Amino acid sequence: MKVAATFALFLACLLAFLPLSKAERADLANGRPILGPWCVEDDKRGPGQPKPYCGDLPTLASVNIREAQLKLITRDLKRPWAMEFIDAETLLINEFPGSMKRLSLADGTTEDIDGLPEIAFGRNQEGLLDLVLHPAFASNGLVYFSYVSDHPQDATYVLNLARATLVGTRLDNVEVLIQATPFSKLVSNFGGAILFESDDTLLFSTGDRARPKSAQDPQNLHGKILRLKDDGNIPADNPFADDPAYHPAVYSIGVRNPQGLVKHPQSGLIYETEHGPMGGDEVNVISGGLNYGWPTFSYGMDYLYKSMGVASPPEGFELPLFYYLPSRAISPIEVYSGPMFPEWKGDLLVGALRAWSVSRIDLHKGRVLSESVILKELEGRVRDIKSAPDGAIFLLVEDGKLFRLSRSVSSGTVAAADESNGRQVYYSVCQSCHSQKVPGAPQLGAKADWAERLARGEAALVRNSVKGYGAMPAMGLCEDCTEEDIARAVAFMLQRL
């Protein structure tokens, strides 16, 4: 009792002298952390001092997302690994120990799905892994999943791709489409990511099973991206279908432990995430017939601190789009295309296991412009990321939690993003003429300069800016700009009149 009283007195004295707001004092007194910079009341801010962010998501505020909310849907899952939307209100979730659940987003309740095959679990990375729905799931009910099973006669293990029909809360007609042979006693680096490439073909990733040389063996199905028909048959147009040196299911080779696959809805490019050794986690653009180098070259070291292969790829090997040093143990990958976060449209969201965060990779025409770390507030290993039909982002954390990241969608939100993009394009491309009193160039904010051009209409202004007009070069000489970027810059200039 004396210790508690002494601590209470100390805390009261501390609060009395710290420059905190009333809300912050209450948070500290009740054991709640104060996130972000100190809150400053509006009437106490100095001239030009911006209003600080005092919410719960400072890593989003650092990239100018200040009004987002992170809601905990449930904390009762058991080592969740993957999820898919059955509909706008229902998720299907795989749990690593070997169970599948249907989860209601309305109240967070779950129902067990029966009918799974026997799944090996308990040693290192054995378990139930990825999960996808057939593109025609609404009519055929087909669910595809990957898992590890053991050999019936010895202590060896194999990665399986299977499919089944979901009927209510049961899987019927379970069939194994392919096993990533050979069986091995090693129980790590299984991979197991699944992606429908088209309506009737899918890609399936396999890890090297901790035997790096297997990734370059064309007959060994370890360390590969495989391509199959939705019924498990081999597509006739697979890149090595007619090459006797290769297994016909092989689509590309030379990957280590591929964790995620996603198709970009605009470009159609396939992106893959994979664990490096110590350092060198990679994001790759996957194409048929290519070799991604493992273990011939790598940006990482082995676990004895020795370099793996060479640091730059020899001819015939592909460079990653992006890599991480040190390793963050990246796993899921999603392309964001919803309405809630228009600033992120077309960008990659990459979850991290070791780093307990999400990496946002800003893409432009397939090139990486920047990378930022967000959502450290999840405080856990991020196992899956999925965009909801309404544009919210769902995040599955290995300790059993499911979160929903959202913000209110309004015309103001989208308009603010468009205005910001237009401003950026203007100051990157246009301001050298339109803000520097270049003869013949109408100046920003000078309405009289624009009178003749305004008479032609905004559409004509955009068209002339795109194609070039007089001394103004086409697209303002911006090779990376799209016509939409130029249109936003024109709109930004007109808003300033």
Phi, psi of 265 (to 5 degrees): -70, -25
Tell me the C-alpha distance between 354 and 415, whole Å.
36
CA of residue 41 relative to chain centroid, distance: 36
Q: Which alpha helices (DSSP H) does 18-170 contain, by range? A: 22-29, 58-61, 137-140
The listed CATH number (3.30.460.80, 3.40.50.720, 3.60.20.10, 2.120.10.30) that belongs to domain 70-409: 2.120.10.30
Fold designation for 413-495: Cytochrome Bc1 Complex; Chain D, domain 2 (1.10.760)
Domains 70-409 and 413-495 share a fold: no
Would you place residue 426 in the very low, low, confident or very high pLDDT band (cuts 50, 70, 90)?
confident
First to last CA, the chain: 70
pLDDT at residue 489, as a whole number:
87
pLDDT at residue 376 greater than cutoff 90? yes
Mean pLDDT (whole number) for 466-494: 84
pLDDT at residue 340, as a whole number:
93
Mean pLDDT (whole number) for 347-357: 97
DSSP symbol at 376: G
Helices (H) and strands (E) in the chain, counts: 9, 26
pLDDT at residue 284 greater than cutoff 60? yes
Altogether, the residues listed in the chain come to a count of 497
pLDDT at residue 400, as a whole number:
97
Q: In b/e form, how buried is each residue of 35-68, taking b as 16+ CB within 10 angstroms?
A: ebeebbeeeeeeeeeeeebbeebbbbbeeebbeb
Mean pLDDT (whole number) for 275-304: 93
Tell me the C-alpha distance between 127 and 149, whole Å.
8
Dihedral sign for Cα 194, 353, 66, 484, please: negative
Token pair 């308990």 in the structure block, residue:
122
* CA-to-CA dists, residue 449 to 405, 434, 437, 446, angstroms: 45, 10, 11, 6
The 10s digit of each residue's pLDDT in 42-94 is 566 666 666 677 788 989 988 888 889 999 999 999 999 999 999 999 999 99
> Counting Cβ atoms within 10 Å, is residue 234 exposed (0-12), middle (13-18) or buried (19+)?
middle
Angle between helices 22-29 and 2-17 (to 10 degrees): 160
pLDDT at residue 7, as a whole number:
54
pLDDT at residue 454, as a whole number:
85
Would you place residue 291 in the very low, low, confident or very high pLDDT band (cuts 50, 70, 90)?
very high
Residue 175's DSSP bridge partners are 163
pLDDT at residue 421, as a whole number:
73
* Cβ partners under 8 Å of residue 463, min gap 6: none
Phi, psi of 61 (to 5 degrees): -60, -30
Would you place residue 321 in the very low, low, confident or very high pLDDT band (cuts 50, 70, 90)?
very high
Contact by Cβ (8 Å): 324, 330: yes
> How is the chain split into domains, by residue range?
2-55, 70-409, 413-495
DSSP symbol at 49: P
pLDDT at residue 401, as a whole number:
97
Tell me the C-alpha distance between 428 and 488, whole Å.
13
483, containing H or E segment: helix 483-495
The 10s digit of each residue's pLDDT in 133-189 is 999 999 999 999 999 999 989 999 999 999 999 999 999 999 999 999 999 999 999
Read off the tokens for 339. Answer: 């309405």
CB atoms closer than 10 angstroms to residue 366: 12
Tell me the C-alpha distance between 52 and 38, whole Å.
7
* Cβ partners under 8 Å of residue 456, min gap 6: none
